[in-house]
Amino acid sequence: MPEALPKEVTLLLHADDETTRDAAWERFVAQHTRLILYVIRKLVRDRDRGMDAYAWVLERLREDGARRLRGYSANGAGKFTTWLVVVARRLTVDFLRHSGGRTQATGTATGDGVGRESQVFRRRLLALAGDTVDLDALRDEHPAADDLLDRSERLEALTQAVQELPSMDRLLLTLRFDDGLQAEQIARTMHFPTRFHVYRRLDRVLTQLRTQLNGRGIDGDE
Amino acid sequence: MGMSEPDAGMPGFLSEEPGERKDLSLLRGSMTPDDANHLDSTTTSAFVEGHLTGAARDRAAAHLAVCASCRDEIVAVREVLTGISTRPMWRRPPVLLAAAAVVALVAIGLPLLQDGRLRAPVPVAVRTPERETRDLSAASPAPDAIVERGPTAQPLVLAWHGAEAGSRYRVNLLDANGETLWSSETGDTSITVPGDIELLPGGSYFWFVDALGTDGRSLTTGALRFSIR
């Protein structure tokens, strides 16, 4: 359910004339500037570029008679603040792309440089689920043909088993093993009460995967 | 679930380089990355808040499992919201007050500790009064309350007097060492502690609620102690 629109947004969307609209806009900006700047600073470290991004975000929010804000007012579900964080972040990313820059955020799920780490996490998943993988063999640059075939079969079986999981469990595995997020971050993102609930759920899902792999003839003794 | 978002007008955001995401394919289900389809801002914010349920949540999760950029976004937004609720955005922490609190702790607390008179453990994470508390206060368990817990006891309910309408609350339950045992978010002014959170007889625990108001202000009840009989 959408929450009641903040007063300053209601005033802005229902302003009858330019003067009232300007005043309402000023009020909106005053009310939400710090939140918008906070979002921008997560992506843009340079202060001047940050202020350019801020101007860009405000411009986009106001254009076409505050079209985006009207969109929230018509379809918004949940808190206005959360929605504004999402939109301000998207507009900042948009600004960076338009201005030829890259995002400078740190610690996000899938940023640059995660690729190598991601491979490590996939190996860990394979090892945890299959309980059968020789990590040294995975590091071997010239594995034997049998090993390659074996690895490929395991990977295929694992991929298949993962695809059959409920989508929330797939997301859980992806955040943990593909993106390498910490359990605490996953708990916050997926609304687990604590990180321990994340570990317990992971354990359950991995056990399920292991059972499925065993059912397909891939057991821990190979 | 809404996909894409004409209203958000984010052509740049929707033109993610496909190559960046194709290599993250091991765990993806039947949905393949589609540059034209991303979660819209409404769905994203609803997922972040935990408001999606049933089929809508499953569809969003299925997309997130295969879409690195949307995943990146929900994690980042969640972190921003957590950052807002755990640090004072709108006012500087009263440094002098915090310093005075430390001095008072050292001057008063240490002799008492040495004396053996201060028996209640102090949480490791001492919370300075850096946020306003005037509009938010705990209701139950009351400060220093002794809560009866037995095998047939009802689940423990934490309740507080809310801030303004529309506020979002993060509730935190800590053990005597200040370690977080459980934390959850709600828009309500009470919450039930899950049954699998063990509260041991004779143990002391702390709880506090942080509120994020619709205007972005954050408030806190401050840490409150209760014991289990």
Q: What is the pLDDT of residue B172?
A: 86
Q: One-letter amino acid identity for B11?
A: P
Cross-strand partners of B146: B227
- Interval A67-80 mean pLDDT: 77
Q: What is the pLDDT of residue B140?
A: 86
**What would the DSSP string read from start to end of chain A?**
-BPPPPHHHHHHHT--SHHHHHHHHHHHHHHHHHHHHHHHHHH--SHHHHHHHHHHHHHHHHHHHHHHHHHHHHH--B-HHHHHHHHHHHHHHHHHHHTT------S-TT-TT-HHHHHHHHHHHHHHHHS---HHHHH-SS--HHHHHHHHHHHHHHHHHHHTS-HHHHHHHIIIIIS---HHHHHHHHT-SSHHHHHHHHHHHHHHHHHHHHHTT--TT-
- Measured between CB atoms, which of A82, A168, A193 is closest to B184? A193
Q: What is the pLDDT of residue A123?
A: 61
Chain-chain contact of B72 with A110 (C-beta, under 8 angstroms): yes
CATH topology identical between A7-98 and A115-215: no
- Please report residues of B whose CB lies closer than 8 A to that of A189: 48, 74-75, 78
B216/chain A closest Cα distance in angstroms: 7
Proportion of chain A above pLDDT 90, given as a percent: 25
Q: Which residue matches tokens 């609620």?
A: B209
Q: What does pLDDT average to over chain B?
A: 67
- Can you list the pairs that A26-30 forms with residues at least 24 positions away whose Cβ atoms lie under 8 Å? A29/A58
Question: What pLDDT digit, counting tens, does each position of A28-50 carry?
Answer: 998 899 899 999 999 998 888 89
Q: What is the pLDDT of residue A54?
A: 93
Q: Which of B35, B75, B158, B219 to mutate to test the interface with A (most CBs of A within 10 A)?
A: B75
Dihedral, CA of residue A66, residue A69, residue A73 and residue A78, to nearest 10: 180
What's the CATH fold of domain A115-215?
A: Arc Repressor Mutant, subunit A (1.10.10)
- Please report residues of A whose CB lies closer than 8 A to that of B188: none
Architecture of the domain spanning A7-98: Orthogonal Bundle (1.10)
Question: What pLDDT digit, counting tens, does each position of A159-201 carry?
Answer: 888 889 999 999 999 999 888 888 889 999 998 888 888 988 9
- Interval B25-43 mean pLDDT: 54
- Please report residues of B whose CB lies closer than 8 A to that of A173: 27, 65
B13/chain A closest Cα distance in angstroms: 6
Question: What pLDDT digit, counting tens, does each position of B172-188 carry?
Answer: 888 776 777 888 888 88
Q: Which residue matches tokens 């008072």?
A: B104
Question: What pLDDT digit, counting tens, does each position of B139-176 carry?
Answer: 888 888 888 876 667 778 898 887 777 778 888 888 77
**Confidence label for A95 from pLDDT (cuts 50, 70 and 90):** very high
Q: What is the pLDDT of residue B107?
A: 52
> Is the confidence at residue B35, as pLDDT, over 50?
no
CB B207 within 8 A of CB B228: no
All structural domains of chain A with their residue ranges: 7-98, 115-215
- Please report residues of B whose CB lies closer than 8 A to that of A170: 27-29, 61-62, 65
Cα(A125)–Cα(A213) distance, rounded to whole angstroms? 13
Distances (CA, A) of A169 to A86, A202, B39, B64: 24, 8, 19, 11
- Interval B200-224 mean pLDDT: 78
CB B168 within 8 A of CB B212: yes
The size of the A-B interface in CB pairs under 8 A is 197
- Interval B68-91 mean pLDDT: 76
- Can you list the pairs that A133-137 forms with residues at least 24 positions away whose Cβ atoms lie under 8 Å? none
- Interval B23-43 mean pLDDT: 51
Residue A171's closest chain B neighbor by CA? B65
Q: Encoding tokens for residue A13?
A: 């969307």
Which one, of B220, B208, B166, lies nearest residue B188 by Cα? B166
- Measured between CB atoms, which of A110, A111, A167 is closest to B61? A167
State the pairing for strand pair B137-140/B168-175.
Answer: unpaired
Q: What is the pLDDT of residue A6?
A: 82
Cross-strand partners of B205: B175, B226
- Measured between CB atoms, which of A67, A79, A90 is closest to B41? A90
- Interval B31-49 mean pLDDT: 72
- Measured between CB atoms, which of A98, A110, A170 is closest to B68? A110
> How many CB atoms within 10 Å of residue A11?
17
Domains observed in chain B: 11-86 (no CATH), 95-228 (2.60.40.1220)
Q: What is the pLDDT of residue B82?
A: 83
- Measured between CB atoms, which of B8, B64, B84 is closest to A90? B8
> Is the confidence at residue B133, as pLDDT, over 50?
no
